Structure 1
Amino acid sequence: MSETRLARPRRIIAIAAVAAALLALPMGAAPAFAAQPVPVAKYVALGDSYGAGQGAGAPLDSCLRTTLGYASQIGAVPRFNLLRLPACSGATIDQVSARQLGYVNQGTTLVTITAGANDLNIGGVYAACAPDETSVACQQAIAAATAAIQTVGPKMAGLIGAVHARSARATIVVTGYPEPFAAGAAAADPLAAVVNAASDALDAQLAGAVLAEATTGVPAVFVPISFGAHAIGGADVPWIGGDPTDPVTFFHPNVLGYAAYRDAILGVLP
């Protein structure tokens, strides 16, 4: 008998064994195949002191970047590669556009932006009003912030569009800012209530800018942030600096606060 005739029964037996194994699987089950690897996101973090991670440890440079801000925490997740962290303390939206946008290129697939608070100078409002809420300096600071709020939305929309123009495939995540003061603290202190209201108004402008760009097909999403009882004066462990004599940490998240940012951002990504 030839070699070919000998091999044929063996092949039939092997095929029958495979079929029997498949039939033995539970209903709806399927043989396991190797999962497709998740692409690594090429990540660039733009923005102000919140984007830089100010308040989460010892500053590394004049931009007050730290190794434990939300961008660095996201970069520690295996499927993200933090390529650049140009975010810098004090940056306005215009300064992000002028000084940081160049770090985004066609290879970038994720961009986060936290900016706008410096356009309103919310910290400056608190500093001007804390000594005397009836002072001329306080009223001028509030008036300047009120006038500036209307410019935030168009500026952020322009920045989002510019990022998209540099990398059409990048997902753009714009974060909001938490109310610095817990609800109880804001109810007891008119100045705290003013600061919280300014943060809310800022977030509304940022969210509106994202929505306007998203409706044109830009892959942009707004992520609101809330610290709840972890805000200044809250009942839980603080996630934000509450000592006005420490300008580095005051009104800035600590490591736990930036972890909340990290989780909120990761929650909107595939």
Structure 2
Amino acid sequence: MRRQLVRLLAAPLPLLASLGLFSAPASAAISAYDSTTQYVAMGDSFSAGVGAPFGDLECGRSPLGYPKLWAQAHGISSFTDVTCGGAVTEDVLAEQISGLSAETDVVTLTIGGNDTAWGEKVLTCMASGDAACTNTVNQAVAGMSTVATKLDATYAAIRRAAPNATVYVLGYPPLFEETAGCSVWIAPNQYQRKELNRFARALNQTVMNRSTSAGFTFVDAQPFFAGHAVCSSQAWLYPIANITPLHPTPDGYRYGYFAALNSVTG
């Protein structure tokens, strides 16, 4: 299966952004994991590392995404990476579950964002105005129960396939700073950014509730990206006018996602 790499924003958008290179972070001082750990990375573009350099053509998996950074920090030279940009819960069930086994020790995962058609909501807000934006977000928040049902099925399948694994479910970052003065080429207007962040909080709450109910560990990425969303002077997410819009930069994967995960795993 070749999925569109960036389903978060599927419509064609202006390109161009320079990408920097960053070395892998140092190993954690204390950790329950080591070179013998059987690690499987699952999920969508935020786990694949879409937006970081050297991503593969099929799924956008980058060595500068958080799974590789985490594995390197724990001395894990080889791990199973089934992540893919654009993945929805159906893809996890149909194609990624096969990467798991009873020998799997650790699983990391981001999933659910594409099931909500998050990118379409951003485009609706920008193209249709404030009232349509609020209506779209209201409907999406009210419909989170559908996403919850899909997550429940996905988490249950992961537990069946990897009964002995510790599973870390990472949430999504806030996409936008809510301060004024941000160009339309960078983000929606201030009102729309607040509405879209309201949607993101509802999504994260749903992911947290369902993952903890499944007995998994939820890793909240929001505090680690605080002050570094789109419209920040030090943004760790790419702006609208980019080939990978609203996805983390290499700094976002390193100082946002990797830092969040490592704060929980040691």
* Larger RCO (CA under 8 A, 6+ residues apart): 2
Identify which of 43, 46, 55 aligns with 1:47. 43
1:206 maps to which residue?
207
Any residues of structure 2 matched to 1:11-90 within 5 Å, and which?
A: 38=34, 40-90=36-86
Residues 47/37 of structure 1: CA separation in 2 closer, same or farther (3 Å cut): closer
Q: Check if 1:169 corresponds to 2:164.
A: yes
SS in 1 for 2:73: coil
Q: When you count helix as a share of all residues, which structure comes out higher?
A: 1
2:252 maps to which residue?
257
Cα distance between partner residues in 1 of 2:135 and 2:161: 38
For the 8 Å contact 1:173–1:222, the answer to whether it is kept is yes
Cα distance between partner residues in 2 of 1:139 and 1:193: 10
For the 8 Å contact 2:34–2:74, the answer to whether it is kept is no
1:233 maps to which residue?
231
The residue type equivalent to 1:232 in the other structure is: V
Q: What is the percent sequence identity of the aligned residues?
A: 27
The residue type equivalent to 2:168 in the other structure is: V
Superposed displacement of residue 67, structure 1: 1.6
1:13 maps to which residue?
none
Cα distance between partner residues in 1 of 2:69 and 2:35: 18
Gaps of 5+ in 2: 1-31, 183-187
For the 8 Å contact 2:130–2:191, the answer to whether it is kept is no
Cα distance between partner residues in 1 of 2:207 and 2:142: 16
Residues 40/201 of structure 1: CA separation in 2 closer, same or farther (3 Å cut): same
1:27 maps to which residue?
none
- Scaled by the length of structure 2, the TM-score of the pair is 0.77
Any residues of structure 2 matched to 1:139-218 within 5 Å, and which?
A: 142=137, 145-146=140-141, 148-185=143-180, 189-214=190-215
Gaps of 5+ in 1: 1-35, 215-219
SS in 1 for 2:221: coil
- Scaled by the length of structure 1, the TM-score of the pair is 0.75
Superposed displacement of residue 163, structure 1: 1.3
The residue type equivalent to 1:189 in the other structure is: Q
SS in 1 for 2:179: helix
1:16 maps to which residue?
none
Cα distance between partner residues in 2 of 1:262 and 1:145: 29
1:5 maps to which residue?
none
Cα distance between partner residues in 2 of 1:204 and 1:82: 32
Cα distance between partner residues in 1 of 2:263 and 2:138: 36
The CA RMSD measured in Å over matched residues stands at 2.6
Cα distance between partner residues in 2 of 1:261 and 1:143: 28
4+ residue stretches of structure 1 with deviation over 4 A? 36-39, 138-144, 185-188
Cα distance between partner residues in 2 of 1:37 and 1:255: 24
Cα distance between partner residues in 2 of 1:254 and 1:117: 18
178-187 or 92-101: bigger deviation:
178-187
The residue type equivalent to 2:235 in the other structure is: P
For the 8 Å contact 1:52–1:66, the answer to whether it is kept is yes
Identify which of 73, 88, 92 aligns with 2:88. 92
The residue type equivalent to 2:170 in the other structure is: T
Cα distance between partner residues in 2 of 1:82 and 1:238: 31
SS in 2 for 1:46: strand
For the 8 Å contact 1:119–1:148, the answer to whether it is kept is no
Aligned length: 226
Deviations 1:89-120 (A, max 9, x none): 11111221111111111111010110111011
